[in-house]
Every structure is written in C-alpha cells, then in structure tokens.
Structure 1
C-alpha cells in the first residue's frame, strides 16, 4: 500500500457518502480519473471533522491524497503528532456518525427535546461552535433556559483523546456536555468505559429512553448506602428521567441526576456518628488503658535513659581521670543511642550554655589532650561552636591557643570539622602557631576559609586530605604561591615541583592553571624551557590519574568542574 496517507477518509457532499483514499487512489489510473472528477467538481470531498473542503493533491511520487487547504482553520486531523492508530480511531467515530442508528438517535433527541418547555435553538448536526482556532459540531445543540447543552452520541469505541478533546472544549466554552452512551456497561472494563467513568465526577451516565415518546433519558448512577453492619456500600441504580430532573454542576459543566460525591459524604458522616455512638464507651476505656500504659512505659523509659546517660558520663569521666588515650568504648555506646536518646544526652551535657568546654580546655594538662580531642571530634556530642563565647567575648579558639599544653593546630582542625566559621580575626592564631613557617600558616588559613563553604561539615576532612593539591590550585586562582617555600616570583620552580611530585593530580591542576591564566604565564616565563621539558617528560610516561579528588574539585571550582566533565567523555 506504500507510505500511509496523512488523511484517509473524506465525506463527498455530492454523493453523501464517506470515501476512502486507499480505495480511490491506490490504482494510479483510477486515482487520476478521480482527480479529474474533482477538478470538474463532480466530487466534493470535505473533512469529516471541520467540514472544510479538501484538495486532491499529488506527491512527488505521483501518489494522490486528500489535503487541507493551507489557510484552513485549525483541525485536529491536521495535527501531525496524531499517530496512525489515533487517526484510525477518529475515522471509526466519524464513520459511526453516518450510521442509520446515529442519525436516528440525534434526530430523535433533537425533535423530542424541541417540544420541552424552556428548550430553544435546537440544532441537529448543523451548528459549529467556535473557540479560538478550534471548532466542534455536536450531534445536537440546544439552550435550556440560560444554559447551553450539547448531546454527543457514542456508538463506537471512543479514545481518551477524543473524549477529553470534547470535554475540555465544551467546558472552556461554558457548555454542558451530555454523552448519550448507546452501548455502555458501567461495570465494563474496556479502556473507553474506564475513561468515561473516571472523567465523570458524579458518575451519572445517560442513554436515550426510546420507550417514551416524549424526551426521556435513562440515567445509570452509583448509589451509596449503609449496610446493617454500618459498613459503607454502593451499587448501580437506573432511573428514567425528564430534563427537569437534571442538575447542573457549573464548576465542571457536568450534568447529573444523583450527586454521588455529596451523598457519599453524607453517608460517611452518618457512618462516623453511628460508629462513635456504638464504640464511645469502648473507645474511652481503651484510651484510658493505653494512656496509662504509655505513661508507665514513658516513666520506665525515662528512668532507664537517666541510668544509661549516667553510665556514659561516668565512663567518660573514668577515661579522662585515668588519662586513657582511646575513647572507643564511649563511641560504641553512643552509636547505639537513638535520636531521642542523643538529644537527651546532649541536653544533659548542655555544652552550648554552661561553658563547660572552656573549663575543660583551661584546666587541661598535656595528659588531657586526648579527652579534649574526643569531645571535639565525636559526631555524637553536639554543640554550636560558632555561638560559644564567654562573658568577655572569647571563643573556643582563644581558649585552645592560650593553653600551651594542647596542640593548637590539630585541635583547630577538629573545630573546623565541627562547623566553625573561620574569620579574619582568627588568622592571628594560625600565624602565631607557625612563627618560622609562614607558608604553612598561609596553607592552613587558605584551607580554613575554603571550609566555610561546606554546609556538610563531614566533607571538611577532604580539604585536609588534599591540602597540598588544593593550595597548588589556589595559588593559580589567587595569583600567589600558597603553602610552598618559594619566593613570590619563582613560578617556574613552583610549577616544576608540582609536575614532579603531584603527577597523579596533574590533569586537575592543568585544568586549573589554564582556567585561571597561570598556564600561559608559565609558558611566557619559561625562558629556559624547563617547565615545558617537565611537561613533555610527564606526558611521555603513563601516569594514572587519581580521581579521588574529583568530588572536592568539582565542589570548590564549579567553573572548572564543567571543563572537568571532558575527562569522562
């Protein structure tokens, strides 16, 4: 059959029949005879949806087909995104509209409705309703007092797309849509039956009552009630009604007879009242028993928790007094605490408010350094190190620095891991800790400021793990040599050292050098070409890149991190 035509069916106004492009045009000679008839106005093909006239056009392969004129208004059959299956479903619907059953139903509905008081402007399959570029022609249109109503008849399977297109279109126009479901099973499981049911808020479904001469609808609706056991039940009922019995939901532009949702809410409320009345005394007794049990359990749990916390605090004191180096036994116990127990434990310590940490640091001897380290390092001991200040405004760094029994730098790193935000005022502690090694002080100060950018304090350790490499990258970024004992202008010596001693990180370092402009500067300064020789030697060997720095690199330097993605392509 060749390539599938975009539009297969048309309605010939001359013959009053639906014509099939596959049958007309598949024989080339017959097809061109049809084209002659078209150009002689012997056939008049129009669109089944919008009723605009089609042209009969020829493809580059001499294949004839129906086509909308370019300036035609919007029509869903012009939608290039419609799959062949969906188009076929639409054509089946359109063909059903030409069946004798469909014609009978729309004429019966229109003629009988026109005799009802309040009904006016009845149009049977001859009124287009416009909404912007879209238009629809319902089977029957009428006005019922101040309301507009359309009837759409269902004889074939309707796709959800077709159902929604009708529902959404008429709702947008403020028109009430009544589906006349000629062959519909509310208990059916076909896709169309489920689509119709789930679209309806009130779950009222209609078909024409043909037994009555006057206009009458058979409404199938879901009815809700309470069983003798006070359990919620629902079932389907059927009733014949006149149009006066219909109700109109203006929010959804849906017509209904029985408000399932409202009645269900009423029944559920009645069910609740019955249940409350039946079980009131039983519930009260159960509640009292449960409350008493809960109080007893809470009391026992509180007593146990007090004992548990006392045991931990006593163990910490014992280890401290015994000058024990390792506090693993305490850590293992705290690891088994649940969240509420840890809150209670830290509430007992109350380090945020009682200045106990300052007291411990002040009185610490060199033998207490492991105790202080444990307090600062434990993830289970919580306090806000940024808020802890004495009455004179001194913070924890001041106390650590002033106690010469303690190793300030190692404990300072633990403070950073605890979330401490490093400030300009704190630099003096670092500088004074390295009186003869300014490059080390510069390195730690740089890392400390970078640590401020981590909300997750657990990642601060990565900064110290890669401190040397990070200082190399920061040297490029800040345009000054950081953390290394080179004079300010010794960039070539610095870079040669980097390539020689950090080859496994060179891919990252080179990206940073290029991003921050140092690479070009090195080439310019490399008069003796020592850097370029080092670079050539590096690339002449097989060096395996260490990707363990990747996450930290991307977090600290997102502008280079985008370039870093190239490493993985």
Structure 2
C-alpha cells in the first residue's frame, strides 16, 4: 500500500552534521508536535545554503546539502527533504546512472566528513601530537594521508589519522555513522596485510545491544570486543595528561551455569596501556577472546567432572537450591530492614518537624514582649516581616532580603535601633537564636548594603563579627556559650580560623581591655597561654574580610 507521502518523499534519511545523528523523514515530518523543530531546521538549512554557516543537513547518500520544502501528496500537503536546484547527480534520484558500488561509496562518503567527524578526527590528531611533543612514543602523525599497499601500489587507503607509535604503524578511523561491513572488513584486511594496526574510534557506544548499530557491532566483534570511545571525559583526560586517552568498553566473560555470560567493563586508557597483537594486527586493552577460552576450558572441565560424578552433580544442585533459598531469605530480610529504616527516617523527620515546631513556639514565647511590640508597628515592612518566619529561617530570610537589594527605610532604621536597645537592656541568658542576635545581623547588613560584593563574603565572616560584637557588649550574642571566654577560644589557636585571630584580640584590647579580660574571664589562664604561644605571630586579616570588619566596627583598628 502506498502511503500519502511515498509519492513525493524520495529522501528517506538525512544526516545532521552538527551532531552526527541520522534523521528519518517520516519521524520528523509526520509528527505534528515536531513542527517547531521542522521550521527551526528549515531556517538553519537556509543559513547554510546562503553560506552564513557551515553545512547543516545533508543527503545521507551523496553528502550534498538539502532543504525542507512542502508539496501536495496523495492526501494533502506534506513536508519533505529535497536536493538543491542544479545539485550534482545522486543515487536516489530517479534518473541516476550511478552503479550500486557508487551508491554505497556515496553513502559512506556522504556521512564521513560531518562536523562531528572532523572535530573528533582533529582531537585524535592533536592528542597524538601532545604525545609526540611530551613523551616521544609517537614519532610520526598526519591526517588524511594515503597509505599505499606494500604489495601493490595501485591499492591504497586514506585513514583519518596515520601515526607511528613505538615503531609500530598505527592508523585511526573515526566511526560515527553507518559504515558497510564490506568497507570495515576491506580496511582491516588492507592494514593487516600492510603490517599496520588500526583503531576505530567512536564518539559514543551504547552497551545495550538493542541500541547498538550494526556497524558498531561489526567493529566491536571484529576487534576482540574492545570499543574505543573519545567522549567528553576522554577529551578532558587527554588535555590534562597531554596524551591521547580513550574510553575502552569491553566484555569480561563469566561462567554462568555451564555457559558464558558477559559483564561490561570500562576504563580510560592511553596507547601504552594497549596490546598490539602482531598476529592479528588488532589493538585491544582486554583480551576477551583469550579470557573466553579460559572460561570455556573451565566450563568443559567442570562438565566432564559432573558427567563422571552424577551424585556430585545432584549434591551441587541441592546446594544451589539451598543457596537460592538463602538469597531469597536474605533479600526478604534486607527488604524488611530497608522498610524499617525508611520508617525510622520518616519517624525522625516527623519528630524533627515536631521538635522544630516546639522550639519555634518556645522561641515566640520566650520573646513574647518583642512580638507584642512588633504587632503594634502596624503595617510591617519587608524587613520587619522576616521575624514572622520560623526562628531557624530568620537568618536565611534576612540574607535573601538584602541580597535582592533591599534598602531599609527610616522607619526600619528606627525599628532596629529601638528594638536593639530594648533587647540589649533585657538580655540575660545567652541564646544561639535570640532577637538581639537577629537585630545584630540586620545591623551588619545595613552597614554593608552599599557594596553588594561584601554581602557575598559576609557568611564567611559573620561569626567573627558576632564574636567582636559580643566582646564589645560584654555579653554572649549569637552563641550558645555560657561564658564570654569561650568565644575567643573558637578562633585563637584554631587552625581553621587562625586568620581571624587578630580582630578578636584587637576587640579584647579596644572594648574590654586586655588585662581586665584575662583577669575577669580567663580564670584558668588557658587563653593567655594560647596567646603567649603565638609569640606575637598574629596573622593579618585578609583584605576581603578586613574591609568588612572595618565598616561594621569603625572604631576597631586592625
């Protein structure tokens, strides 16, 4: 039966040179949901035809550019690919005079030199040049040069890349699209006959058999089941190591109940990791054929032993059954344990949520006076509204508000000043999350708000600022410590925070008085010993932090 498009679509498939993908006419055009893709492709084709970009879609057979047109089919208007006006002869034109061999050759050549093919070939060449310059294992490398037969000068091949690696002739063929088996076999026979090794390079290789092209299977199985791929990670490794690295995907034969199964493995390898078999002139990383023979030999030996000892076979069968039951029980046990773990996790989450809810209720109750005053302000500004968030999210809401460019109004500034004074006056018990702590943060943000770059660095220096403020106010703010002496211990003598020692020491000297602080706070003299052990080697505060501390505490000299 003739479809509505068969009378006008002579080009069934085209090649996308940007990606190397094959595009089928009926899949692209017959799906109405693809219309936006069709017209996007149509524009790109026109750009290529006008010479404003590289060729885009080409006929898979002849390699010439195509365009997208519309016409009348048997059952209405349809879209289709067509050759450009005055294009060269093509095998799929109805009036073609080309032979079958020329059709096959045209199809192969039409696919070969796409954008992705050229790019991949250039990568291989460049990475081999790296090796030549840095390691000297490659002593010769060229692109697209003719390799003549040592037996017959009329026979020749022109591989993508020709090289000499450790005195061995080595060529590379980039394999991205469909290549015919006779082409693959012909090339491999030619190079073997001319004592030259060949590596077929894929851009991608799917280990799922159903997704592999026949061409990929032809190359893979004819090359000791080793596939070499130049993917993005291989490119990165090659650039980093100044050498050609390829991802090798191969099958490891495994004995599976008197037969052979295969497990896929992969490894990034360089040329020195590979075996160059001078008998077959094949290149591989893992000798699948040899390993398969070992596995097969083991299987045969086991079969002979089992045939001679029927009772042993029966015993092994019962053992196997027992093992299956054990595995099933283990799986049931594991499933039960996983379900129990999930229940515990959900319970923990619920308890945590309940705990946070209770903590928030306690926070509101503890700061009842503040929240009562907050409601009396009437219409709240965005800055005042952050206090309506859960107590553990107020810090984050403040940060988000200011990073979005919020500029406090006069009422905001009065609110901050008045509430800070009230909270400071009534502050008695240190608390990690207190209204005084949040008001202090807002004050810092207001002072740094004129330079958004400081807000990016602020999270790193926030604990230092709170520590300096605590020393200045002579109370613990924003920490859960019971005593003020615990705060400088977090910085002085702490390798991970050593760079912040100077502002802490200067705060003690400027706001408290060094001798007074040691006498009143450092009863056990542990802090004083830490300071003395530094022998005056106090690291300077990095400039990016120094500017922030100086803006917040203008009277602190660093």
With normalisation by structure 1, the TM-score equals: 0.34
Bigger Rg, which one: 1
- Structure with bigger RCO (C-alpha 8 Å, 6+ apart): 2
TM-score (norm 2): 0.35
